[in-house]
Each structure stands twice: as structure tokens, then as C-alpha cells.
Amino acid sequence: MSDVNKVVLAYSGGLDTSVIVRWLQDNYSCEVVTFTADIGQGEEVEPARAKAEAMGVKEIYIEDLREEFVRDFVFPMFHANTVYEGEYLLGTSIARPLIAKRLIEIANETGADAISHGATGKGNDQVRFELGAYALKPGIKVIAPWREWDLSSRESLMAYCKSRDIPVDFASAKKKSPYSMDANLLHISYEGDLLENPWAEPEEDMWRWSVSPEAAPDTATYIELDFERGDPVAVDGTRMSPATLLEHLNTVGGANGIGRDDIVENRYVGMKSRGCYETPGGTILLKAHRAIESLTLDREVAHLKDELMPRYAELIYNGYWWSPERRMLQVAIDDSQSVVNGKVRLKLYKGNVIVAGRQSADSLFDERIATFEEDAGAYNQADAEGFIKINSLRMRIAANRGRSPL
């Protein structure tokens, strides 16, 4: 007899998680609680309620987490200008700690002794969900059906549905895109099918959020972003909530062919994976945030942030959002943002994000000192001689001892 009485399932209402509901009921003889999160995937989430009810689920959670997602996860990540392996803006990675958090909170609310997810045994998401769950509730049991069952294809899943009377729209399931896709307010990702050949160029009709740079308007679009303490708060003078702002940038960025990326990345489980991503709003935000930081941050603070960023990105990619080291880094990174205030003007043109201006009351740029014209004594150029001699001292000593670099 199973030691699991109740399990909270991260439930989309699609084919995979619909199968998982029945599989949990059949194999664990347990009550299933479903949790469906709206994090901006662009699809209606309410239909998941009827699908869950049809399979006898009595406790159904459907929640709009878009504002929390952007405010408490995306924006703090962008404080660090976070990019994994030089390209990936971590759109999937940053959504998982929020889902893990809510799975555990719902488990506590409903008295569940287990959680479950639909991530496969080959991917990163299983690690992200489970590291988060164990950090927040060490004794929780995690059920990962893809690591237990013998269902290995879409056809086998549909056969299981037919044999167990699972209400699934088979015509819709068969017409589904050949790509494995994940979407939220930050990005949409594509994996599988044609993309499993790293030499194959993605098909143009694969992309959902953006036009190709070639098809983008021939006239540039200008936008202005206002920042307060490192967070974007307004576009073109109109204040917006975090989720609304990111959604707006996705629209204007996509219309200008911005945010497409084609990457071969190193998964935490050890394999390389080829994926394509659309991150229009995030691509704009990254450029704008670095522009306002260039004006307001002390040099050594900015350079230290850049040194810490790859480690911070790796922690998020690998699923360690709730770890003490990520939280420690976040405190330092967030502290640096107190002076990151001001306005950035950007030019969007055929896939490019170009900085066209930046200004801030907290600017460290001093025109009197930086000018190539008369500076009225603001900077004594003769001081540079001693600066250079002091900084070359160790090299001069070594050369005098015969340690020439030539």
C-alpha cells in the first residue's frame, strides 16, 4: 500500500499532466491536488479546472502569478545582468523556483505529503523543481513519473488516455507543434524535432513572438525606460506594473525582430542541448539596465558584479535559487542597485537594441573631467605620470632582474 495519501501536481491540463493525474491515482491510490500557474504563457489556464474535475480532482488551484513572477524573480535576476554561457537569459530557469515555492505552500495548506511534476529525467527542470522543494520542505516526497513509468512517446501517452478514459482532445494533441515549448512572460523556448540537429536552421514558422529581422520595419522605433533602484518602472513616461511592463516590451520588441537566440547549452545533468529562445522584452531590459548602470555604478562595483554574474547565472540555471549562496549574492547585488536610477533611450531596429541616450541624477559621469576640451583645472594630466610609474613598478623591477617578457 502506498505511503502517499495526497500529492500536489504541477498541472497544465495538457496531455502529459493529464496522464500523470490518472497515473498517480492508479499507482499510488492517492488523492491528487492540481496546481496551475499563470505566469504569462499566453494560453488560458481556466480550462484546466474542467479537465481536472473530469478526473475526480476535488482540490484545484489556478493562480495568476504574473506580477509575483516578474517582480520577485525576473527583476532581481536582471539586477545582476544575468546571462548563462554568454547567451541564455534564463527564461525557463527563473520560473521554476516560483512554481516550486507554490507547490510546497499548497502542500502545507492541503496537508499533502508529496508533490509531483511532469519534467523528464533528461532535463534540468526536474533538478530545479526538486532542489527548490527540498530547500523549502526537507521531508517532502517527490514523485517524478517520467523517471518511473514506461511511457516514452506521445503515442504511448495517448494510448494510456484511451485505456483509462482520460478526457483529452486527441485531434488537438496530434496537431500539436512538433517542438517542446515552454512559455512565460520572460520568454518562449523551443526544443526537439528539427532542432536536435545543431546544423539545421530553425524554420521561420516556428517562431511565435517575433518577426524576423528581415521582415521588421525599415524605420527604427525609439523607446525610453525609467529605472528606480535597478527596476524598470515606466516606458515612454507611462508607469506600469512589472508584468504589464514586460508584456509591453515583448510586444514592441517582437515587432522589431528582437530577442531570437539559437543556443547549444550545457545542461546540469551533463549533456549538451540545442534550444531556440525568444526573449524580446528581456533582451531590451538587459541592454537598458547595463546602460543605466554604466552611468551610475562605481567602476569596481560594476566590475565585481560582472565577475559574480557567471556564478549567479549558474546557480539559477542549475536550480539553486533557494540556496544560501544565491541569497547571499542577491543581497550584495540588490545593495548595488540603490543608485541605479534614471532614464535610458533605446533605438530598436531590425533585431538590434541600440542605446541612444542615458541620464540620471545619480550619474558619476563628470563632463568637466571627461571633456577633451579645456577643463579649467578639473583634472591635472601631469598626475598620470606618477600613476603609471607606480603601477609599472613591479614590471620594471622584474625586467631589471632579467625577467623580460620578450
Length of the chain: 406
Task: Note whether 101 and 163 are same-domain residues.
Answer: yes
> Residues in the chain with pLDDT < 70?
1, 170-176
Last residue of a domain, one of 149, 176, 203: 176
Residue 17 lies in a domain: yes
* Predicted pLDDT of residue 168: 76
Give yes or no: residues 223 and 166 share one domain: no
In this structure, are 349 and 205 located in the same domain? yes
Q: Could you tell me the CATH number of the domain that includes residue 290?
A: 3.90.1260.10
Taking the C-alpha atoms of residue 91 and residue 395, their distance in angstroms, rounded to an integer, is 46
Domain shared by 99 and 136, yes or no: yes
Q: Domain check: are 33 and 162 in the same one? A: yes
Q: In the chain, how many domains are there?
A: 3
Residues 116, 232, single domain; the answer is no
Asked if residue 109 belongs to a domain, the reply is yes
Give the residue numbers marked as catalytic: 16, 96, 125, 180
By C-alpha distance, which of 137, 139, 119 is closest to 129? 119
Question: Which of 173, 125, 166, 141 lies closest to 21, judged by CA?
Answer: 166
pLDDT reported for residue 175: 57
Residues 113 and 51 in one domain: yes
Residue 21 in any domain: the answer is yes
Whole-number Å distance between alpha carbons of 347 and 223? 7
Give domain status of residue 255, yes or no. yes
- Convert the pLDDT of each residue in 245-274 to its tens digit: 999 999 999 999 999 999 999 999 999 999
Considering the domain architecture, whether residues 153 and 225 belong to the same structural domain is answered as: no
**Using N-to-C axis directions, what is the helix angle for 280-296 and 299-318, rounded to 10°?**
150
In a domain, 87, yes or no: no
User: Is residue 318 domain-resident?
Assistant: no
pLDDT digits (tens, 9 = 90+) for 273-308: 999 999 999 999 999 999 999 999 999 999 999 999
pLDDT at position 378 is 94
Same domain, 105 and 172: yes
Task: Provide the whole-model pTM.
Answer: 0.95
Give the domain-ending residue among 176, 197, 218.
Answer: 176
Which of the listed residues 142, 176, 210 is the one where a domain comes to its end? 176
Range of the domain at 233: 183-297+340-359
CB atoms within 10 A of CB 27: 14
Is 322 part of any domain? Answer: no
pLDDT value at position 170?
Answer: 61
Residue 267 lies in a domain: yes
Are 269 and 378 within one domain?
Answer: no
The reported pLDDT for the residue numbered 1 is 45
Are 17 and 147 contained in the same domain?
Answer: yes
Q: Are residues 33 and 160 in the same domain?
A: yes
